[in-house]
A and B are shown apart, each in its own frame.
Chain A
Amino acid sequence: MLLTPRLIGFLAVVGIALLVARFESQFNAYYFQIIIYIGINIILATSLNLVNGYAGQFSLGHAGFMAVGAYTSAVITSTMHLGSGVLSAVVFPFALAIGGLVAAICGILVGIPTLRLKGDYLAIMTLGFGEIIRVIIQNLGFVGGARGFTGIAKLTNFFWVFATVGLVVFMLSNLVRSTYGKGFLAVRDDEIAAEAMGINTTRYKVIAFVAGAFFAGLAGGLYAHFVTYINPSQFSFVKSIEMVVMVIIGGMGRNVGVIMAAIVLTILPEALRSIAQYRMVIYSLALVIIMIARPQGLFGDGRWGKRLWVAGRRISKRFSAG
């Protein structure tokens, strides 16, 4: 393994997550909840960014995969009657991973037939899939059906959420930087050229879709074990749209921008709570304005970090010279 800045960043995030998790009980519960939601939304948005942004396959079914992960992991921890012991700390990540895997399997089942379609058609197919998942869960008696799944152990804490965030961001940014990952960009930009240069475009699309589904499944598991009560309506297509908005506002195919957008768009509706009934109006208005002013995404080409760094160095040089 290479000690890249990304690996160092990942280890730092995990370290901080461990540290903060120790003082978790001292946080204001309301702010703490928002922070957890930010983490979960970062996982959802960046994983959707792999599908919609990098691979260019417009999916509207991400909430479906999240639901699969949420219910699968919840069923596992509930049947094992996990409380808050040492055992649960060991089993919980496995439950999450299995939730992710089942979501990934759903991703394969949905992806292989639907990824032959392009653009609008694909969007509608994935939208339909997300709704199918929701309706199936609604009619599954053993997970509570439309009443919802209650009594899920509260196993999600700061550490699990942000260690997962670190891992997902680490993996996705490694992926898109690698030669392997250039395949996704080639598929998005020009499928015919990509195919002519030896890239199996169908395979790449399915891989993006399945990896996205896996991470969405992880996020679903974290969510379920945080709120302790889930019901199918939480995973409707409105949730998928929310994620798509984060990807578009952040800039399709820009991990840093999408992370920022996930943070901003999680905080914004909460920050606007004080103005009660105008909240969603202002939120929607903000989205419209952002799209008009910055159609390339709030954070543009993602090189703003580099520009900031260059500008900063120039200023510091001037000061040290003068």
Chain B
Amino acid sequence: MALLELRDCTIRFGGLTAVASFSMKLPANGLYGLIGPNGAGKTTIFNMITGVYRPTEGEVLLAGQSLVGMKPYQICSLGVARTFQNIRLCRSLSVLETVQMSLVKGLSYGFASAAMNFGAFAKEEARVHDFIIETLSLFELDQYANDPATSLPYGDQRRLEIVRALASNPRLLLLDEPAAGTNPSEKRELLNLIRQVKERFEVAILLIEHDMSVVMGICEQIVVLHYGAKIVEGTAEEIRRNPKVIEAYLGEEV
């Protein structure tokens, strides 16, 4: 069974159909790419999966369970984590605290223990702290642990967002333009990172990208979106040669 399945998902905002009857399947441990020109509806699809938007029609299934109508935080606790196109790190949190916010949902203690520091509190906080440092060091971010998250260089901020998403222990990781605004060498690093993440954390990854070199380089399967509709799905090679894709990106031949 596919880990993620979208079945005929349509979403309309007033008269505008942002996504029309979109279907796709993502197997567990798969690495798929979602590409398309600006405004094709890629981020809207992410927002439907994560519960920010509710599809007007259609089903979103995670391992067979419908996600439609659930709140984003509930979907996250079922194992869907994401990053954002325009980085969304909290201004007042340090790097360590940024990762900490993903661990709030799994805490074994509640308000009273937190306020009075009793019960499972100390043990749990130590566990959380160790886990964060360990995770940060995997991504070579541990030396910045106490710096404000938004003070990191741009590329590191993108990496930190991925770490934050991974800390919530997802089965499915949604990356929204992870390579946006990065230079070629950072891009290569990022490709390696995404591969590593997939192997080490055993997650399925769906990534949105504008940059063809990124998508073509790592994605097993690519879905091309144009004006809210899927025009083609296939391997990098198939996509590269497909006349519809060329048309969507470059326009019709004259």
Interfacial residues, chain A to chain B (CB-CB below 8 A): 1-2, 4, 6-7, 171-172, 174-175, 178-183, 185-186, 188-190, 192-201, 207, 211, 253
Contacts and interface: CB of A to CB of B under 8 A. Distances in A.
Contacts of A207: 111
B134 to A, nearest CB: 15
B168 A186 contact: no
B240 interface: no
Nearest to B88: A193
Contact of B90 (A174, A186, A211): A186
Contacts of B118: 1
B88 A2 contact: no
B170 to A, nearest CB: 10
B117 A198 contact: no
Contact size range, B: 35 or more
Given A180-B111, A186-B93, A189-B91, A197 B101 contact: yes
B72 interface: yes
Nearest to A181: B114
B107 A180 contact: yes
Contacts, number: 114
B82 A196 contact: yes
Nearest to B103: A179
Interface string B88-129: 111111000100111111110111011111100110110010
B164 interface: yes
A178 B102 contact: no
B54 to A, nearest CB: 14
A185 B90 contact: yes
A1 B76 CA distance: 32
B91 A197 contact: no
Contacts of A253: 92
Given A179-B104, A186-B90, 20 more contacts: A4-B117, A175-B114, A178-B114, A179-B100, A179-B124, A180-B111, A181-B114, A182-B100, A183-B101, A186-B104, A190-B88, A192-B88, A193-B88, A195-B73, A196-B81, A197-B101, A197-B102, A198-B76, A199-B101, A201-B73
A7 B164 CA distance: 31
Contacts of A199: 73, 101, 104-105
B77 interface: yes
A200 B115 CA distance: 19
A182 B113 CA distance: 14
A270 B127 CA distance: 49
A185 B97 contact: yes
Given A179-B107, A182-B104, A211-B111, A198 B116 contact: no
B50 interface: yes
Per DSSP, chain A at the interface is: helix
Interface string B59-98: 0000000000001110011000110100011111100010
Per DSSP, chain B at the interface is: helix
Contact of B115 (A175, A188, A189, A190): A175
A292 B108 CA distance: 44
B104 A183 contact: yes
A28 B37 CA distance: 76
B93 A171 contact: no
A198 B107 contact: no
B153 to A, nearest CB: 20
A189 B92 contact: yes
13 contacts: A6-B117, A7-B117, A179-B103, A182-B93, A182-B101, A186-B90, A190-B89, A193-B88, A193-B89, A197-B76, A197-B105, A198-B105, A199-B104
A7 B113 CA distance: 14
Given A185-B93, A198-B102, A171 B110 contact: no
A75 B123 CA distance: 43
Shortest beta-carbon contacts, A-B, top 6: A198-B105, A189-B90, A198-B76, A180-B114, A171-B115, A193-B88
Contacts of A193: 84, 88-90
Contacts of A6: 117
Contact of A197 (B81, B114, B115): B81
Contacts of A200: 71, 73, 105
B152 interface: no
A54 B189 CA distance: 37
A99 to B, nearest CB: 19
B105 to A, nearest CB: 3
- Counting chain A CB atoms within 10 Å of each CB, which of B72, B107, B110, B125 scores highest? B72
A195 B88 contact: no
A171 B81 CA distance: 32
A198 B93 contact: no
B194 interface: no
A30 to B, nearest CB: 35
B28 interface: no
Contacts of A195: 71-73, 76
B52 A192 contact: yes
B90 A178 contact: no
Interface in B110-162: 110-111, 113-118, 121-122, 124-125, 128
A288 to B, nearest CB: 26
Given A196-B50, A199-B105, A179 B115 contact: no
